Structure 1
Amino acid sequence: MTTFEQIQEIIVDQLDKEQEEVQRDTNFREELEADSLDLFQIINDIEDEFDIKIESEEGLNTVGDIVDLVEKQLAEK
């Protein structure tokens, strides 16, 4: 399972969306209607899943933004 697929699964579960709705270029607030609490929970789940720490949700507008950040952190481990 790729990093994207793992993150996609977390988002689908958290926001009760269909897998097709969650793509790399999907915007959290505009397309998935996620509020800051949703995003906070998604980030917590991702941190637990990958054993990393995401310092800020600033600049994380799309699913791809989070995937890139996670992959960068995993590469630095």
Structure 2
Amino acid sequence: MSPDRRLVERRPDPADRRRRIIALTAPGRALVEALAAAAATEQDRFLRALAGPERAQLNRLLQRLYAAHVPDPGPGA
């Protein structure tokens, strides 16, 4: 992968010129969208053995496991 694919850009923060805002460029957004679509396709392929309600149950169980092991950062985090 090329180190300078121009996927993100830095620009001054209009509210505070000491700060810089890092944002995705159009190619960066396109890459994120393509990766999300590929991940969704692979997830559907992997989970095709489960019916809709089974997928929902699996998702709920995984969310419970995640919540039990990852602390909630709280408001404003």
**Normalized against structure 2, the TM-score is what?**
0.26
Structure label with greater radius of gyration:
2
Larger helix proportion of the pair = 1
**Normalized against structure 1, the TM-score is what?**
0.26
Task: Report which structure shows greater RCO (CA 8 Å, sep ≥6).
Answer: 1
Larger strand proportion of the pair = 2
